[in-house]
Structure 1
Amino acid sequence: MPRFYLDLYNGDGLTVDDDGQVFETRERMRREAIRMLPDIVRDEAIENDHTAITIKVRDEDGRQIFEASIVISSGWCD
């Protein structure tokens, strides 16, 4: 089964996935990357008015093959 590396980009910069994860298919990897986004943004959005999280996925050869992002913006309306 192929190994995929899910690198995380957020307000703190880049967190590189050095270990990777094995998924049966590219579709399962895509679903996992998308599933992770709300959990990550939920924690970070509490502290910031604008939060953008991106997961960029690399294959075993180091090529980026997928990207998913989520953005939350908030602000007072005075």
Structure 2
Amino acid sequence: MWTALSKIPLLSALKVIKTLSAFGYEPIRRTGSHIHLLHPETKRLVTVQNHPGIAIGTLISILIQADIERKDFLSHLK
């Protein structure tokens, strides 16, 4: 499950969105400080708050929404 939480770095919303884009997610709208991304094939909707630092718990929630494993997400970070 979710072990070694300390290995997840503090990321900006822009970095999270760029990494989600590598998995096929596309921004579809912005509501206040939240950016909504949709995967065109799976129709999964993911919401990312537009903040300079995304909390680890929030990032984990985003990855669960996106159905992306932590290790896969971290391997796509550049």
Answer yes or no: same fold by TM over 0.5: no
Greater share of helix: 2
Q: TM-score range by the shorter chain?
A: under 0.3
TM-score, normalization: structure 1? 0.26
Greater share of strand: 1
TM-score, normalization: structure 2? 0.26
